Structure 1
Amino acid sequence: MPAVRSVDWQWENATAGAVAGLATATFTHPLDVVRTRFQVHDGRTSMLPAYRNTPHALYTITRLEGIRGLYAGFYPAVLGSTISWSLYFYFYSKAKQRYLKDRKELTPGLHLASAAEAGALVCFCTNPIWLVKTRLQLQSPLHQIRPYSGFHDALITIMKEEGWRAFYKGLLPGLFLQVTHGAIQFTAYEELRKVVVNWRFDKNERTSGTADNLLDSIDYATLGASSKIAAILLTYPFQVIRARLQQRPSTAGIPRYVDSWHVVKETARFEGVRGFYRGITANLLKNVPAASVTFIVYENVLNMLKLARRDY
C-alpha cells in the first residue's frame, strides 16, 4: 500500500470541511437572517421592524419581504461558510500534525492551540465576506439608503463609499470569536470523542480498532451539538459586537458604533447583559443542528476519502 503523505490528508480534510459547510449553510440560512437582525436591534432608532421572538421574526420577514428576505445574503453565506470550513479543517489538521511530530496523541492544550491557530487564519481570510453577508441580511423595505443589489454590488459600493478598510470592520471581535469559539468547540469535540470511545469499548477493543469504525453518525451528531452549545454560550457576545460594528453607515456616512469598546459601553448602558445575548435563541436553533450536520458530513466524507485511498 502506498505511503500517505501528510499534505494529501490535509487536502482531504479541506474537502470534507467544504462539503460540510455548504450543506450547513443551505439548510439554516433563514435562522441566520433572524439572528443577525436580533443582534443589531438595540431598542433605539432602527430601520428594521421590531420582532417579538424567532417565529414572529420569520413570519414578519416572509410577510414583508417574501421568501427572498429569508435568504438575504445567501450567496456570501454559502461562499463564506464553504471557504471557512474548508480552510478551518485544513489549518486545524495541519496544526495537529505539526504538534503530533514527537507525540503519540495531543493534549487538550494542543487541541486548543491547533483550533485557535486555525480560527485566526480563517478570520483574516473571510472577514470581508461576513461583512457583506451581514449588510445584505440587514436590508429591509424600511431602509432609505439605496440597497445593495447583490454580493458584487455590495463589494463595489463599499469600496467606493467607505474604502477597503471597511471590509475589516468587526475584525477584532471576529478574531476573538473565531479563535475562542473554534478552540472551545473543537477541544470539546475531541475530548468528548475520546470519552465516548473509552466508555463504549474496553482497552483491548480500542487497541484493535480505530475511531473510524467505533463511532456512527448519531455519535457525531451528539458530539457536534454538545460541543457547539458550549462554544455558543461562552462566545456569543463577540457575535453581537461584530454584527453591530458591521452595520451600514447612515446616509450621512456616520457609523452607529465607532469601535468594539463603544459597542460594549453602549450595549451595557442601554440593554445590560441581556443585550449581549440578543438573538441567541435563533443562533442555537441554527447552529446546534448545523453542528450535528457538519460533523456527520465531515466525518463520513473523510471516512469515504480514506476508503477510496485504501482501495486505490
Structure 2
Amino acid sequence: MSQSQPQPQPQPQSKSKSEQWQCENATAGAAAGFATVAAMHPLDVVRTRFQVNDGRVSTLPSYKNTAHAIFTIARLEGLRGLYAGFTPAVIGSTVSWGLYFFFYDRAKQRHSKNKEGKLSPGLHLASAAEAGALVCLCTNPIWLVKTRLQLQTPLHQTQPYSGLYDALRTIMREEGWSALYRGIIPGLFLVSHGAIQFTAYEELRKGIIDFKSKDRNKDSESDDKLLNSVDYAVLGASSKIAAVLLTYPFQVVRARLQQRPSSDGIPRYMDSWHVVKETARFEGVRGFYKGITPNLLKNVPAASITFIVYENVLKLLKMARRKD
C-alpha cells in the first residue's frame, strides 16, 4: 500500500498503468459475459420467441407462459432447441461485455480528468451511453444471427441455418451486407438500457460504500473491500430491473425487425416505425412488453452473476498486479 500514491513519474509509465487497467476491465467484463450466457441462455430463447410472436402468421408454436414454453421447446426440439443460437450468444456477450467495460472505463477516465476523479450522475450516464453505442455498432451482426437461430423451429419453412458461419454467409448472399445491421436503430436506442443500468449501479454502489464506511477509517482505495458478493448481486439486480422496465419496448422492436424474411425474400417488417405501428394497431401496449417475464427471470439474476464475476475477477487482477 505504500506504493499506492507514488511521486510523479515519467508519462510513459503512467500510460502503461492506464492501459493495464483498461485491459483488466475488458478481461473481467468478458469473463462476466460468458458466465451470464452459459447460465441463462434457455430463458433468452424463450424471451425472443415471445417477442416476435405477434399473434398473427407465425411458424412458432403457441406458448402459454414461460414454463410452458421451456417444456414445449424441450419436448419438441430437445436441448438443442433450448440452446439455439448459443454460439453467437457466447461470442456476442463475451465481446460485448469486454468492449463495454473497456469503453466505459476509458470514457470515465476522460470525463474525470478535470473533475478530481469524481463523476456526476450525468457524466456516468454519458460514459455508459458512449460505450453502449460503440458496442452496438461492433456487435449488431452477431445479435442478428443469434435472434434468427433462436427462431428456427421444426415448423420453419425456409432452409435453416446450420450455424453462425452459415448464417452470416447466407444473409450476405441473399440479403446483402446491410441486412446484418437490421435493428440497429432500436439497438442504438437500447444504449439507454446500459446507460440507465450503469448509472443506477454506480450511484447505488456509492451509497452502499458511504453507508458502510461511516464508522470505518478507510481510504478510497479500500472501497472495494467494503463490498462483498451479496452487495454486488443486489446492486446488479436492482440496476437491471430499472433498465429493463424503461427500455424493454426497444428490445421487442429490434427482435421483430431481425426476423428472417419469408421464402419470397420479403421482410415481415420494413423498418422500426412499421413495427411500432403494426404492434400498436394489433396488440396495443401489451405487445411492446411481450416476453418481459422470461426477460426479467433471465436478466435480473444474470445481472447479479455478471457483476459478481466482474468485480471479483477485477479484484483478483488487481491483487496479481500488486504482487508483481
TM-score bucket (shorter structure): over 0.9
TM (norm. structure 1) is 0.98
Mapped partners of 1:208, 1:145: distance in 2: 58
Tell me which residue corresponds to 1:234: 246
Paired position in structure 1 for 2:296 = 284
* 1:213 to 2:225 alignment: yes
Quick check: 1:198–1:206 contact (8 Å CA) kept in 2?
A: no
Q: Residue 23 of structure 2 aligns with which residue? A: 11
Measured after TM superposition, the shift of residue 7 of structure 1 is 1.3
How big is the shift at 1:6?
1.1
- The whole-number CA distance in structure 2 between the counterparts of 1:193 and 1:208 is 13
The structure-2 alpha-carbon separation of the partners of 1:280 and 1:210, relative to structure 1 and needing over 3 Å to count, comes to: same
Of stretches 265-274 and 206-215 in structure 1, the one that deviates more from structure 2 is 206-215
- 1:275 and 2:287 matched: yes
Q: Secondary structure at the match of 2:217?
A: helix
| 1:295 counterpart residue number | 307
**Offset at 1:203?**
6.8
Q: CA-atom RMSD, angstroms?
A: 1.2
CA distance in 1, matches of 2:254, 2:282: 18
Picking from 129, 137, 156, the partner of 2:169 is 156
Kindly indicate whether residue 60 of structure 2 is the aligned counterpart of residue 48 of structure 1: yes
Q: Which residue does the alignment assign to 1:173?
A: 186
Structure 2: gaps of 5 or more residues: 4-12
2:42 is aligned, of 11, 30, 33, to 30
Corresponding position of 1:113: 126
Query: Is residue 2:210 matched to residue 1:198?
Result: yes
Equivalent of 1:83, from 87, 91, 95?
95
In the alignment, the residues of structure 2 paired with residue 271 and residue 144 of structure 1 have an alpha-carbon distance, to the nearest angstrom, of 25
TM-score, normalised relative to structure 2: 0.94
1:68 is the counterpart of 2:80: yes
1:208-255: per-residue Cα shift (whole Å, max 9, x none)? 662210100000000000000000000000000000000000010010
Q: CA shift at 1:275, angstroms?
A: 0.3
Q: Structure 1, residues 244-271: CA drift from partner, whole Å, max 9, x if none?
A: 0000000100100000000000000000
Q: Which residue of 2 aligns with 1:92?
A: 104
- Percent identity, aligned pairs only? 73
Does the C-alpha gap of structure 1 residues 253 and 216 become closer, same or farther in structure 2, counting only changes over 3 Å? same
Q: Could you say what secondary structure the match of 2:261 adopts?
A: coil
Match of 1:248 in 2: 260
Aligned mates of 1:200, 1:215 — CA distance in 2: 9
* 1:308 equivalenced with 2:320 (yes/no): yes
1:42-75: CA deviation from partner (whole Å, max 9, x where unpaired): 0000000010000000000011101100000000
CA distance 1:18–1:208, shift in 2 (3 Å): closer
Total equivalences in the alignment:
311
Aligned to 2:8: none
Distance 2:161 2:272 in 1: 25
Runs of 4+ in structure 1 displaced over 3 angstroms?
Answer: 1-4, 206-209
Counterpart in the other structure of 1:128: 141
Find the aligned partners of 1:67 and 1:73 in 2 and give their Cα distance: 12
Q: 1:185 aligns with which of 155, 175, 197?
A: 197
Query: How far does residue 207 in structure 1 lie from its aligned partner after superposition?
Result: 3.5
